[in-house]
Structure formats: C-alpha cells, structure tokens
Amino acid sequence: MINCTVAETSAALAAGDISSVEITQAYLDRIATLNGELNAFITVCENSALLQAKAADDARANGNDRPLLGIPLAHKDIFCTKDILTTCGSRMLHNFVSPYNATVVERFIDAGTVLLGKTNMDEFAMGSSNETSFFGDVKNPWNTECVPGGSSGGSAAAVAADLCAMATGTDTGGSIRQPAAFCGVTGLKPSYGRVSRWGMIAFASSLDQAGPITKSAEDAALMLNVMSGLDKKDSTSIDRPIEDFTATLNQPLKGLRIGVPKQHFADGLSMEVEQAIRNALAEYEKLGATIKEMDLTNSHLSVSAYYVVAPAEASANLSRFDGVRYGHRCEDPTDLEDMYKRTRSEGFGEEVKRRIMIGTYALSAGYYDAYYRKAQKIRRLIKDDFDRAFEEVDVIIGPTSPHTAFKLGSKADPVSMYLEDIYTIAVNLAGLPAASIPAGIANGLPIGMQIIGKYFDEAKILNVAHQFQQHTDWHKQKSTAITAASGES
C-alpha cells in the first residue's frame, strides 16, 4: 500500500482493506530502512504516529469518513508543530520545540491525518538543492549522487521514495516545484494568500506560500481542500469561498488555450527537457487544447529582482533569531553585543548569512532606491506581463527546471545555484499559482513540467495536470535504485 496514491489509500481505508495503524507502521518501517541513506527526515514521530493512527481507525469505525482520515503525511520542518522539534534545517533552531501548531498543521490534525515526522530542508528555506541544511544533504531517490532540489527537498524525496503518502512544502521562488521536478512527483504552489502562513517560519513574507507535494494532481487537490481557507491570524490570508478542488478534475480540455513562453525555450534549456515538454504539449493538443507561443517580456529580470526582494525580507525576518528568547545561544557571552554577534555567527550557515548581508545592504540608506525600490518596480512589470498573457490564454506551460537533477556539490558558485529557479521565480513575484508534474525521464532522472494559472485558479491547474496524468504514466514511474534497495519487485 505504501506505493499507492492518497486517493487509493483513502479508498482502501474506507473499504476496510487496510487499517491506518497498518499503513502507518509500513511507512515507519520504510523510513527506518531508507532514511539513513536519503536523509529526508529530521524528526520521526513513531510513537505519536501510531497513537494517531489508532485514533483514526477508531473514528472510522464510528462512522467518520473524512477523505484524509488516517492518511500518513510529513511536514516540512518549517511548520511549527506543538511539542515537536521545528528546526528550519538550521543550527539556530536545532533545539527549538514549538509551543503551538501552525494553522496548516492544525488543519491536517482536524482532517484526521497521521504525522510521521518533519522533513529535511535547506536552512530557513534558502537554497535550490537541499545542501544547506545543518542536518546534512538530502539525497535524490532516483540517484543518490544527485540533489533532490530545494528547499523542500526532504518532502519531495520522502514522497518519491514512498516514505509518506503526502507532504507539505513551502515555495518562495520555486521551492515546491523544483524539488517536485527533480524527484518525479507533483508539487503545487498556490496563489499567495490561498493558504495561511501563520506558524510557518518566515523567509520572505511577500513570497512564501505553503503547498502540497504528492504522487498525483488528484492527491494535491485533496490536500489543498484541507490547507486552504481564510485564517484570521494571518493578515495575508485571503477571504474567499472554500472550494472543492477535486470537483473539476475530470473536466475535458477541449478548447483549453495553452500559452508557451518563448523565453522558457531559449539558451540554457537542455535538449532532453525541451523534447519532453514539446511531447507533453502534443499530448494536450490530442486532448483538444490549442497552443499559442507568447512573450513574457520581463521574465529575464525575475532572478535579479528576486535576489534583492527575498534577501531584503529575509534580513528583517531573521533579525528575531538573536539568542535572547529561543534557539541557539553562544556560550559565555561577555556582553549583549557579543551574544548577538556570536550567536548569529554560530547559528546561521553560510548561505543564510550571505542573504542577510545582501538584504541588509539593499535596504540600507543610499541603496534602497537603487536596489530594493527598483526590484519592486520590476516585480510589477512581471505581474503585468502575466496579466496580459492571461487575457489570451487559460494556462501557461513550460519546463520547471532547465535540466534534470544535478550532482551533489557540483554548484559551488552561488550565482549558478540562483539560476536554478529561472523558470519558477516570476510566479512568486507575481503571486500566481503553479504546479510541477512529471513529464518525462532523461538519463534515469525525472523531468518536470510547470503549469501556471491565473490568480486563485488552482482548480484549472489541477484539472490540466490531472487530465495529463490520466493519459500518461510519467507520475507513476519509480526510481529503480530505491525499489531495489527496499526489496520491491
């Protein structure tokens, strides 16, 4: 059962073919077998998971039939979880036990899910490879010499390796979609404001958004049904009617207008990835869609603008980690200033320090107008590009990443790492929803396809993704390395 989708597992639980305790134990056994190699989990909650599974089985026996009741999941270790470590992949929070649950966590508890544990991540969500974690690199289940993508690499690797049925992630510039692409799973970044950020430790407040990482678009819809909705504790949460994102999954695609940005098929895109996306577009044409080449004129500016805006917000958000209230504190400080300096020097990794320094510089007197204000103006131009595009098309489709997963340690230069998110960052700057779904395999590694939608049009994105998955089997492909290691046939 551990290789089944959430929808399949839910049906099996409802039919009494398996219990939540049985499926939870199976996942825990698999985590014990494979996590030492993959390093996908920072914390495993074995005892509490089995207790939650037993409670779910009892609830089901008493007539409760919630879709996610008894389904095991994992949370990215950026979501606060009461009485459980919440580290953000950082030494700064290596000993922080949250006194409360994030809203997203609370909503999954209310849905009756079973928490298996907290997944590894790039430190404070800063990275594109999951190599900046204080707890070590996460390995890609398809090839353990390769990165799983970041910053939600632990969640993507866990879902891809069948260590959990589903997982949460966060996406600031592509951190759900890029690891989903590298690990061959489905990842959805919702519209900004669709999902509460309360209790999700902030990196860049105007960009961060939580979303699902799953084995299929249908599963992502089931998760989004639980995650979304107004939260009065979050001032950025949008008050919109709660939708059933599974209701329109099976709508036919005849007449769908797909935009293909020519900027996403330029220099730097590997031939294998381009061919896979072209093949996917041909599949959509068979399903009745029309393809239109289009311009996102300012998309080439997105990386530059992002790496001013995001570090600027990070420098403000991370100022709270000073050794005074919680988390790491240096030993034997001589005075308050010494405690601040040594605590932050010891607690933060190199990439986090780099972004804090860049952000502080961009916000400093004399440079604010030259950098931060200009980046915000570019952000508006990027949003306007999308607004114009969506007057002519229903969704925009292209590659998620220029290539498949790269080797661990192969990108020592920060700029080359930043360019990994070249196709995903513009979506966050504009606040749009987007998904990555598997669309091919090259050299034994998955290829991701990105589907971008209009504001709050997640239902359409999921419909487009689901229909593709109904007519292809890329999302069902598994890593032979992991299946062999776990003794599967």
Asked if residue 323 lies in contact with residue 339, where contact means CB atoms within 8 angstroms, the answer is yes
Asked if residue 436 lies in contact with residue 450, where contact means CB atoms within 8 angstroms, the answer is yes
360 burial type by CB count under 10 A (0-12 exposed, 13-18 middle, 19+ buried)? middle
DSSP 218: H
191 is a catalytic site residue: no
Q: CA-to-CA distance for 55 and 394, rounded, in angstroms?
A: 43
Residue 176 makes CB contacts below 8 A (sequence gap 6+) with: 152, 169, 170, 187, 188, 189, 211, 213, 436
Q: CA-to-CA distance for 72 and 274, rounded, in angstroms?
A: 35
Cα dihedral 223→227→229→234 (10° resolution): -160
Amino acid at 389: A
Place of tokens 């989004």: 224
Cα dihedral 41→220→438→2 (10° resolution): 50
Asked if residue 113 lies in contact with residue 156, where contact means CB atoms within 8 angstroms, the answer is no
Asked if residue 123 lies in contact with residue 89, where contact means CB atoms within 8 angstroms, the answer is yes
Residue 292 CB: number of other CB atoms within 10 A? Answer: 13
CA dist 425 → 279, 318, 363 (Å)? 24, 21, 21
Q: Half-sphere exposure of 66 toward its Cβ, with a 13 Å CA cutoff? A: 18
CA dist 316 → 59, 125, 282, 356, 389 (Å)? 44, 15, 46, 8, 34
Between strands 186-189 and 434-442, the pairing is: antiparallel
118 is a catalytic site residue: no
CA dist 474 → 291, 314, 361, 444 (Å)? 21, 36, 44, 12
> Which residue is catalytic, options 151, 155, 196, 436?
151
Nearest-CA neighbor of 403 among 440, 454, 456, 455? 440
Specify which residues 74 forms β-bridges with: 117, 167
Residue 281 CB: number of other CB atoms within 10 A? Answer: 17
128 is a catalytic site residue: no
Nearest-CA neighbor of 65 among 105, 111, 25? 111
> Which residue is catalytic, options 19, 98, 133, 175?
175
Specify which residues 165 forms β-bridges with: none
> Which residue is catalytic, options 19, 76, 133, 216?
76
Known catalytic residues? 76, 151, 175
